[in-house]
Amino acid sequence: MTATAVLSVASEIYPLIKTGGLADVAGALPAALAREDVVIRTLLPGYPAVMSKLESAEPARAYPSLFGGPANVLAGRAAGLDLFVVEAPHLFDRIGNPYLGPDGRDWGDNALRFAALARVGADLGKGAIPGYTPDIVHAHDWQAALAPVYLHYDGGPRPKTVLTIHNLAFQGHFPGSILHAIGLPPRAMSIDGVEYFHGVGYLKGGLQFADRITTVSPTYAREILTSDFGMALDGLLRARASDVEGIVNGIDDTVWNPATDAALAVNYSALRIDMRVRNKAALQQRFGLTVAAQAPLFGVVSRLTHQKGLDLLLEELPDVVARGGQLALLGSGEKPLEDGFRAAAAAHPGSIACIFGYDEGLSHLLQAGVDFVLVPSRFEPCGLTQLYGLRYGATPIVARVGGLADTVIDANDAALSAGVATGVQFAPPSTPALAYALKRAFALYADDAAMRRTRLNGMRADVSWRGPAKRYAALYRALARSEQ
Ligand code: ADP
């Protein structure tokens, strides 16, 4: 059997440049799939953060003009990843966030920048670099979504295509006037093409033409077919439902390993779970909470946005404190939410404490120290915090949506008596449902044996990339074999 060759087209990749989960997935898949006999090369924009890390870069193809300036495709490696990089200074030689200018707003030419990425992806897919002909072009999110669109309108032989939705909230919607500039034919401006609310929809076009569509959990894959979660693309997604699949994300279990994690006060494993309490004390100290081993300690590590449902938690905090619970929150985001948590901390010193900002190391200590990690999201394509919680013995309390529904086993009576529970789920995302979940969490905490079992089940759950990698490999192989 020959290896399946995949060209992954992504606008960010861990550890070179990251704003979200897309970077983690793009960065993890190549190594995870190498074990499955799938060879992935990733095509990236040549941002300074990428160019400066590129080793042994060789020019592989020149574009005299790529949407307004000359460009080169370089073949090279960085951070152990095999890359093609679009060196196009007029589009990508900009420091900082890949999408936003220094004023915090989208770059005015994002339509051209990411059309260029997709255009090159389509060309490489068709064999523009001698000796390289991928079986599959795998585009991630709206920034790469035009790759299947170009391959469709170019006509002629083409590789198979996969489009992955990491978050349907971001769709790449631009005025219709850009159609000519991005090199699509006038006939593409139709309901069966890229036309979307009188403009051009990049994700919409990709969803129209990709051979397969994936998203990052089976439940989210079902949810986006409904008007409640479909963000105006549910009609198109329903029309393509038989080509939509959900594959959960994994985590890097070498970076997230409580037995070796340098950010913890004390390392531990499932076999030495009693050591964990020393991280709880260190965390309470760090946050300025009362150091109390017996107090049930709840934690949050999150962007503070409406999506994450933390306004629901705010309403329940007085009750959590009244029952003897504590909260440690690490996050940043919308001011009203920050203000709300700041006020709660002021009202309950020693019991509620917040650190506003982004702190990777502290997020590790938090997962190692809290008893429960709370993720009350209104929607969640996959979610990572609950996976880290499982691995670290911080029992997740989650809304039953998206990937949260797929990765946590609710501690209902059946799961408890079968000995398989890993957390607490609630639905719908509302204050009364969360209140009930918290009540159940307090009851679980009071039952030493059940709590210990639930924690250990979580720590022993496989949340690595091994399972998901097999699913991607099966998808790629089936697609590579299928007829056009
Ligand atoms: P989303 O991508 O929607 O923000 P995820 O749960 O998929 O949600 O991923 C969030 C990631 O960001 C996790 O790795 C989480 O630990 C991390 N994170 C979020 N906020 C912070 C913060 N303030 N400090 C450190 N890490 C954070």
Protein residue whose Cα sits closest to atom 19 of ligand 1: 302
Protein residue whose Cα sits closest to atom 24 of ligand 1: 358
The structural domain count of the chain equals: 2
Residue 25's identity, in one-letter code, is: V
Q: Is residue 261 part of a domain?
A: no
**21 C-alpha vs ligand 1 centroid, how far in Å?**
8
Q: Is residue 257 part of a domain?
A: no
Cα distance between residue 387 and residue 205, in whole Å: 32
* Whether 368 contacts 261, CB under 8 Å: yes
Helix (H) or strand (E) holding 196: strand 195-196
378: tokens are: 């209104």
Residue segments in the chain with a per-residue pLDDT below the cut of 70:
1, 484
Q: What is the pLDDT of residues 284-321, one digit of tens each?
A: 999 999 999 999 999 999 999 999 999 999 999 999 99
Tell me, yes or no, whether 473 and 447 share the same domain: no
Asked if residue 53 has its Cβ within 6 Å of ligand 1, the reply is no
| SS3 annotation, 9-46 | ECCCECCCECCCHHHHHHHHHHHHHHCCCEEEEEEEEC
Asked if residue 306 has its Cβ within 6 Å of ligand 1, the reply is no
Q: Is residue 429 part of a domain?
A: yes
Cα distance between residue 302 and residue 337, in whole Å: 12
Protein residue whose Cα sits closest to atom 22 of ligand 1: 358
Tell me, yes or no, whether 326 and 437 share the same domain: yes
Tell me, yes or no, whether 319 and 189 share the same domain: no
Q: Is residue 327 part of a domain?
A: yes
Q: What is the pLDDT of residues 38-67, one digit of tens each?
A: 999 999 999 999 999 999 999 999 999 999
* Whether 84 contacts 119, CB under 8 Å: no
Tell me, yes or no, whether 310 and 453 share the same domain: yes
Q: What 3-state DSSP class applies to 112?
A: helix
Cα distance between residue 34 and residue 413, in whole Å: 41
Tell me, yes or no, whether 84 and 186 share the same domain: yes
What pLDDT score does 19 carry?
86
Asked if residue 403 has its Cβ within 6 Å of ligand 1, the reply is no
Asked if residue 436 has its Cβ within 6 Å of ligand 1, the reply is no
Tell me, yes or no, whether 233 and 298 share the same domain: no
**301 C-alpha vs ligand 1 centroid, how far in Å?**
6
Tell me, yes or no, whether 236 and 275 share the same domain: no
* Whether 407 contacts 399, CB under 8 Å: no
Tell me, yes or no, whether 301 and 447 share the same domain: yes
Q: Is residue 258 part of a domain?
A: no
- The number of the ligand 1 atom at minimal distance from the alpha carbon of 363 is 25
Phi, psi values for residue 32, rounded to 5°: -65, -35
Beta strands in 64-193 (DSSP E): 71-78, 81-87, 136-140, 160-165, 173-175
Tell me, yes or no, whether 407 and 371 share the same domain: yes
**303 C-alpha vs ligand 1 centroid, how far in Å?**
6
Tell me, yes or no, whether 312 and 241 share the same domain: no
Tell me, yes or no, whether 69 and 30 share the same domain: yes
Q: How many CB atoms lie within 10 A of CB 111?
A: 24
Asked if residue 359 has its Cβ within 6 Å of ligand 1, the reply is yes
- Domain around 103: 4-250+466-482
Q: Is the pTM of this model over 0.85?
A: yes
Q: How many CB atoms lie within 10 A of CB 259?
A: 11
Tell me whether strands 81-87 and 71-78 are parallel, antiparallel or unpaired: antiparallel
Q: Is residue 262 part of a domain?
A: no
What pLDDT score does 63 carry?
98
Residue 368's identity, in one-letter code, is: A
Residue 145's identity, in one-letter code, is: A
Cα distance between residue 404 and residue 384, in whole Å: 9
Q: Is residue 20 part of a domain?
A: yes
| SS3 annotation, the chain | CCCEEEEEECCCECCCECCCHHHHHHHHHHHHHHCCCEEEEEEEECCHHHHCCCEEEEEEEEECCCCCCCEEEEEEEECCEEEEEEECHHHHCCCCCCCECCCCCECCCHHHHHHHHHHHHHHHHCCCCCCCCCCEEEEEHHHHCHHHHHHHHHCCCCCEEEEEECCCCCCCEEEHHHCCCCCCCHHHCCCCCCEECCEEEHHHHHHHHCCEEEECCHHHHHHCCCCCCCCCCHHHHHHCHHHEEECCCCCCCCCCCCCCCCCCCCCCCHHHHHHHHHHHHHHHHHHCCCCCCCCCEEEEEEEECHHHCHHHHHHHHHHHHHCCCEEEEEEEECHHHHHHHHHHHHHCCCCEEEEECCCHHHHHHHHHHCCEEEECCCCCCCCCHHHHHHHHCCEEEEECCHHHHHHCCECCHHHHHHCCCCEEEECCCCHHHHHHHHHHHHHHHHCHHHHHHHHHHHHHCCCCCHHHHHHHHHHHHHHHHCCC
**463 C-alpha vs ligand 1 centroid, how far in Å?**
16
Tell me the CATH number at 40: 3.40.50.2000
Cα distance between residue 17 and residue 47, in whole Å: 9
**22 C-alpha vs ligand 1 centroid, how far in Å?**
12
Q: Is residue 65 part of a domain?
A: yes
Tell me, yes or no, whether 93 and 223 share the same domain: yes
Q: What is the torsional sign of CA 245, 251, 254, 260?
A: negative
